[in-house]
Amino acid sequence: MTTDNPPSTDDDRLSTLPLGLLLGRISGVFRTRLLEACQDIDSDVRLIGLALAIKGNPGFTQADHARFLGIDLNTASRLVNRAEELRILRRAQSALDRRAFTLELTAAGEMLATRGAEAIDRLERDLKEAVGESEFDAFRRTAEQILRYFG
Helix H or strand E segment including 89: strand 89-93
| pLDDT given at position 41 | 67
| pLDDT given at position 39 | 77
At residue 104, the 3 state secondary structure works out as strand
| pLDDT given at position 123 | 93
Distance from C-alpha of 119 to C-alpha of 49, rounded to nearest angstrom: 12
Cα of 124 vs its chain's centroid, Å? 13
| pLDDT given at position 79 | 95
The tens-digit pLDDT sequence of the chain (151 residues) is 444 544 445 667 778 889 999 999 999 999 999 888 887 666 688 999 999 999 999 999 999 999 999 999 999 999 999 999 999 999 999 888 888 889 999 999 999 999 999 999 999 999 999 999 999 999 999 999 999 999 8
pTM for this entry: 0.81
| pLDDT given at position 37 | 83
Q: Please, are residues 122 and 34 in contact by the beta-carbon 8 Å criterion?
A: no
